């Protein structure tokens, strides 16, 4: 019995070190109520195996997310390079507070929280790859206890026992009620055998296939309210724009063009859709109402103008163009006038996107070296100044997408020969892998649930 308790304790401890949490939970709930104000609370110490055979330096940080809504817990294992993020949120089906996390290998799990008097208990099951053999899965029940202090805050009793006395000031505030999770991740993937559109919700273990059609469905974009998505599909031979209601599954074809359609995106108010038409040697930017009417051409030249993105205030359009020899980033007014070049390099600047406040632009820069196309994520001011490398080009990163609060950037990275989805802090630190699948995952963005 003592041996079993030793084994359980030994493996429960690494659970708090090795789990990842997905960016899809970075703002779980806009209606959570916090007991007392919180900025950031951090501490560090050592985790020890009961027999003294293992010891890890660990940092644990609790922080308040946007507008005082979310409690996020981050664990950093300095010795092994592991890190993880977990989020407290309200599970609308179970009507309980839950703790959400993502494990190594992209498997989602959650644990429910119970409250008795001044004690909060998190219980669940953890499964993760063995450190010595990633193909071998280990699974253990775990239980973590938090206690309210007299000030109405919380201390982590389990870690207090593991580290010794809790040092003064190392308390966390806790969210006590709320509604359902707010964000998911929208992307397309070949994991179904052909290209389909998927959504990963924070409380679900597996992504949901929204289209599930033998045609090639790709390039999804969500409406601002999250109730509708648009995407491209070749189910009528050429790629056209389709609109799908997530709530009712009603599908409507919006375009019926002689040319191939590419890169659709909603305007910030959801009233318009911007896209491009491909005329073989050139592509032009067009815009239409969200119902498919009043289609209007915005650019006209002999180059390829692609990947348009409307600014948060609805006044400007970012796009990439090879009109000056290689792809660079341009900006123009909403009506197509005052087209201005923002980047001037010998490389390819592609996939530009506005930050939520409109002050920054994230994009991919691609460089050909030794016969290989490399790429990294960069961020610059809206006028093209203060251009900064965020990820190294050797990583082959592209297709950035901002989180709604502007704190994170999601992107796709080549890993083991195919693209998977990652996210990181907006300054490039703490990259976290979101998907881990042998098929292609990409074109990811946030969607409001």
pLDDT tens per residue, range 284-298 = 999 999 999 999 999
Q: What is the pLDDT of residue 201?
A: 73
CA dihedral 270, 357, 207, 92 (to 10 degrees): -90
Tell me if 178 is assigned to some domain.
no
152-202 pLDDT per residue, tens: 344 444 333 333 333 333 333 332 222 233 467 899 999 999 999 999 876
pLDDT in tens, 25-35: 333 333 333 33
> Residue 361: which CATH number?
2.120.10.30
Report whether pLDDT(126) > 80: no
Q: What is the pLDDT of residue 398?
A: 94
> 121: pLDDT confidence band, cut at 50, 70 and 90?
low
Same domain, 60 and 132: yes
Do residues 187 and 157 both lie within one domain? no
Confidence of residue 447 (pLDDT cuts 50, 70, 90): confident
Both 139 and 196 in a single domain?
Answer: no
What is the reported pLDDT for 116?
45
Is pTM beyond 0.75? Reply is no
Q: Is residue 53 part of a domain?
A: yes
211 and 264 part of one domain: yes
190 and 159 housed in the same domain = no
4 vs 110, more confident: 110
Same domain? For 370 and 282 the reply is: yes
- Domain of residue 137, residue span: 2-163
Decide if 311 is inside a domain. yes
Asked, for residue 177, whether it belongs to a domain, the answer is no
- Asked, for residue 370, whether it belongs to a domain, the answer is yes
Last residue of a domain, one of 101, 135, 163: 163
Question: 104: pLDDT confidence band, cut at 50, 70 and 90?
Answer: very low
> Based on the structure, what is the number of domains in the chain?
2
Mean pLDDT of 338-357: 96
Q: Decide if pLDDT at 150 tops 70.
A: no
- 327 in any annotated domain: yes
Which of 107, 129, 163 represents a domain boundary (last residue)? 163
Q: How confident is the model at residue 407 (pLDDT cuts 50, 70, 90)?
A: confident
Q: Which range scores top for mean pLDDT: 256-260, 337-341, 403-407? A: 337-341
Q: Is residue 420 one of the residues assigned to a domain?
A: yes
Given a cut of 60, is residue 59 above it in pLDDT? no
**The pLDDT of residue 200:** 83
171 assigned to some structural domain: no
- Domain shared by 249 and 348, yes or no: yes
């Amino acid at each position: 019995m003592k041996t079993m308790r030793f084994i359980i304790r030994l493996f429960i401890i690494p659970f708090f070190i090795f789990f990842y949490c997905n960016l899809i939970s970075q703002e779980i709930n806009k209606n959570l109520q916090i007991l007392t104000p919180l900025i950031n609370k951090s501490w560090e110490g050592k985790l020890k195996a009961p027999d003294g055979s293992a010891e890890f330096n660990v940092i644990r940080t609790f922080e308040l997310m946007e507008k005082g809504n979310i409690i996020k817990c981050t664990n950093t294992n300095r010795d092994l390079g592991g890190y993880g993020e977990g989020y407290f949120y309200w599970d609308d089906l179970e009507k309980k507070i839950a703790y959400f996390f993502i494990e190594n290998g992209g498997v989602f799990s959650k644990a429910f929280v119970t409250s008795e008097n001044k004690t909060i208990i998190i219980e669940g099951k953890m499964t993760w790859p063995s450190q010595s053999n990633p193909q071998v899965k280990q699974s253990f029940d775990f239980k973590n206890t938090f206690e309210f202090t007299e000030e109405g805050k919380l201390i982590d009793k389990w870690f207090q026992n593991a580290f010794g006395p809790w040092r003064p000031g190392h308390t966390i505030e806790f969210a006590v009620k709320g509604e359902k999770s707010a964000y998911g991740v929208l992307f397309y993937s070949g994991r179904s055998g052909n290209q389909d559109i998927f959504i990963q919700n924070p409380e679900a273990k597996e992504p949901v296939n929204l289209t599930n059609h033998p045609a090639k469905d790709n390039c999804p974009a969500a409406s601002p309210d999250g109730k509708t998505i648009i995407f491209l599909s070749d189910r009528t031979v050429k790629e056209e724009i389709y609109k799908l209601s997530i709530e009712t599954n009603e599908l409507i074809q919006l375009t019926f063009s002689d040319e191939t359609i590419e890169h659709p995106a909603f305007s910030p108010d959801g009233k318009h859709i911007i896209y491009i038409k491909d005329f073989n040697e050139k592509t032009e930017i067009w815009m239409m109402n969200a119902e498919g009417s009043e289609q209007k051409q915005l650019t006209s030249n002999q180059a390829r103008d692609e990947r348009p993105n409307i600014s948060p205030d609805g006044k400007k359009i970012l796009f990439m163009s090879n009109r000056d020899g290689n792809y660079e980033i341009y900006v123009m007014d909403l009506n197509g006038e005052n087209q201005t070049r923002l980047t001037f390099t010998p490389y390819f600047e592609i996939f530009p996107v506005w930050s939520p406040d409109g002050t920054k632009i994230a994009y991919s820069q691609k460089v050909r070296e030794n016969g290989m196309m490399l790429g990294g994520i960069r961020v610059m001011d809206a006028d093209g100044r203060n251009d900064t490398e965020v990820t190294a080009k050797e990583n082959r990163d592209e297709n950035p997408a901002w989180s709604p609060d502007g704190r994170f950037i999601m992107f796709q990275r080549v890993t083991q020969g195919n693209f998977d989805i990652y996210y990181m802090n907006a300054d490039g630190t703490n990259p976290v892998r979101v998907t881990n699948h042998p098929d292609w995952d990409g074109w990811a963005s946030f969607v409001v649930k």
